[in-house]
């Protein structure tokens, strides 16, 4: 993003042109920013541990155009569901290019997951006998709950620690691998998800050490070796201006240091190191454009826009903060206002108080930052407010990569029984 003579550009395309061409609300992604984010992270980790690969957690942004950028850069895919395995297949990826980390799976999920031939990562010890019913996979990986979690998003985004529903309890890890070994499995992997949006490099070291002690003990006691260890996602980005960036080089060097130390300590054959971030790659490369449609002076001034809780769910869901720019007005003095969307819920009043340019007016374009991850992917159709369009920009080029929904999308799967049609 860039502001030139007061006008906001995404790469080299003015937001006014994007709003005119595609309407609002519209998600816009900067291709070069995604590539730069990926390359910065990859070169950091490869520098300290060359046998390294990223798997993109496609849940954060499942547009195939976006996912193809990351595939071109060399990423595999982290799939959270069978449908995400199918999305990966649409990218031409399968087998060891895809990591399937579902949770609380049905038998049908397990069957399809195994049949797809991707890396199967078990969220619990109780899954092992259910998996074995369908045959003996060549390799088994467990998602470990390391006992700690951390989140910069909100209380509900906890994916490890005592309050998380995910992963094998630390005290059950040894047993899980023992059961798998005794069932005749020969190859192993391990996985964790350390937390969400973490900007402290030391935390990655701390949590990697805990995982490696659990895995190292299992390797030593059970005489098994690990093909790979996947440290999950969680590489953070700053949402608030003034918050620090994650020092990715430091994170990579600390992780690699403790990883290699533990490999030596437990005399393990060095496994492939994997991570599966998403926010770090796509979060700050995406924006949602909106238009100011109404302004009300009530208990305070409320700016009404078409960026609603159904198009950007994070603020209403987690109290998450997103910076907002107003095109053409960033140089103006500020006044405190509220800002909301158009849905009939007061959680849609998603900015209760913010200093915004005082002249903000009908027809103005707002640009909401850091919307590339968990933005469109979490959008829904409440109030008959449909999902927005998605656009990719690269230099001065732009492409529609997902059409805005229309009324047909709202009724697509609905059937009205005959007696109700009279």
List the catalytic residues: 344
> With CB under 6 A as the contact rule, which of the stretches 248-256, 272-280, 301-309, 395-403 interacts with ligand LLP?
272-280
Give the residue closest to ligand LLP by C-beta. Answer: 233
Residue 322 in the binding site for ligand LLP (CB under 6 A): no
Instruction: Please answer whether residues 48 and 251 qualify as being in contact, where contact means their C-beta atoms are separated by less than 8 angstroms.
Output: no
Q: Would you give the binding string for ligand LLP spanning residues 5-44, x where CB under 6 A is met?
A: ----------------------------------------
* Of positions 24, 63, 81, 101, contacts ligand LLP by CB under 6 A: 101
Residue closer to ligand LLP (CB basis): 118 or 373: 373
Does residue 226 contact residue 179 with C-beta atoms inside 8 Å?
A: no
DSSP summary character for residue 101: -
Determine if 373 is a binding residue for ligand LLP (CB under 6 A).
yes
Nearest to 97 by CA among 281, 280, 272: 272
Per the CB < 8 A criterion, the answer to whether 102 and 80 are in contact is yes
Give the residue, chosen from 153, 160, 215, 360, that forms a contact with ligand LLP under the rule CB under 6 A.
Answer: 153
Residue from 279, 329, 398, 402 that binds ligand LLP (CB under 6 A)? 279
Length of the chain: 422
* CA–CA gap between residue 416 and residue 421 (Å, rounded): 7
| Residue 232 touches ligand LLP, criterion: CB under 6 A | yes
Contacts of 325 (CB under 8 A, 6+ apart): 1, 3, 8, 366, 367, 369
Residue that is written with structure tokens 């990223």 in the block:
54
Residues 6+ apart with CB under 8 A from 290: 24, 25, 305, 306, 307, 365, 366, 368
Distance of CA 340 to the CA centre of its chain: 24
Among 30, 78, 97, 390, the residue binding ligand LLP under the rule CB under 6 A is 78
Ranges within 194-213 binding ligand LLP (CB under 6 A): 196-197
Determine, following the binding rule CB under 6 A, whether residue 316 of this chain makes contact with ligand LLP.
no
Of the candidates 124, 209, 276, 348, which one interacts with ligand LLP according to CB under 6 A? Answer: 276
The Cα–Cα gap between 373 and 292 comes to 23
Euclidean distance between CA atoms 176 and 179, whole angstroms: 5
Closest separation between CB of residue 387 and ligand LLP, Å? 16
Residues that bind ligand LLP (CB under 6 A): 57, 60, 78, 101, 153, 157, 159, 193, 196-197, 232-235, 276-280, 314, 373-374
């Amino acid at each position: 993003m860039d502001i030139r003579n007061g006008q906001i550009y995404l790469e080299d395309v003015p937001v006014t042109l994007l709003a005119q061409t595609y309407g609002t609300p519209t998600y816009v992604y900067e291709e070069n920013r995604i590539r730069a984010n990926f390359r910065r992270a990859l070169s950091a980790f490869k520098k300290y541990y060359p046998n390294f690969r990223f798997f993109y957690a496609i849940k954060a942004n499942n547009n195939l155009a976006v996912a193809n950028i990351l595939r071109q850069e060399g990423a595999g895919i982290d799939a959270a569901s069978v449908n995400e395995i199918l999305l990966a297949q649409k990218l031409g990826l399968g087998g060891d290019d895809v990591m399937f980390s579902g949770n609380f799976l049905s038998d049908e999920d397990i069957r399809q997951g195994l049949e797809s031939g991707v890396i199967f990562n078990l969220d619990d010890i109780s899954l092992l006998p259910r998996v074995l019913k369908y045959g003996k996979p060549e390799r088994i990986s467990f998602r470990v709950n390391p006992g700690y979690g951390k989140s910069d998003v909100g209380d509900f985004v906890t994916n490890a620690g005592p309050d998380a529903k995910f992963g094998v309890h630390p005290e059950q890890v040894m047993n899980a691998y023992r059961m798998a070994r005794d069932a005749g499995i020969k190859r192993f992997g391990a996985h964790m998800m350390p937390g969400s949006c973490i900007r402290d490099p030391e935390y990655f070291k701390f949590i990697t050490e805990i995982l490696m002690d659990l895995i190292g003990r299992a390797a030593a006691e059970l005489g098994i070796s690990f093909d790979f260890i996947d440290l999950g996602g969680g590489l953070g980005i700053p949402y608030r201006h003034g918050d620090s960036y994650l020092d990715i080089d430091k994170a990579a060097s600390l992780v690699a240091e403790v990883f290699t130390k533990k490999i030596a300590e437990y005399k393990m054959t060095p496994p492939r190191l994997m991570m599966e971030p998403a926010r770090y790659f796509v979060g700050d490369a995406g924006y949602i454009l909106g238009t100011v449609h109404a302004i009300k002076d009530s208990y305070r001034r409320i700016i009404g826009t078409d960026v609603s809780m159904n198009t950007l769910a994070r603020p209403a869901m987690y109290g998450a903060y997103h910076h907002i720019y107003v095109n053409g007005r960033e140089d103006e003095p500020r006044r405190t206002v509220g800002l909301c969307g158009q849905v009939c819920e007061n959680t849609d009043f998603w900015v209760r108080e913010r200093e915004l340019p005082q002249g903000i007016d009908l027809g103005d374009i707002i640009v909401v930052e850091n919307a590339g991850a968990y933005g469109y992917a979490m959008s829904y159709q409440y109030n008959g407010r449909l999902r927005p369009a998605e656009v990719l920009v690269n230099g001065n080029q732009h492409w529609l990569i997902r059409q805005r929904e229309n009324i047909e999308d709202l009724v697509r799967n609905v059937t009205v029984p005959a007696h109700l049609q009279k």
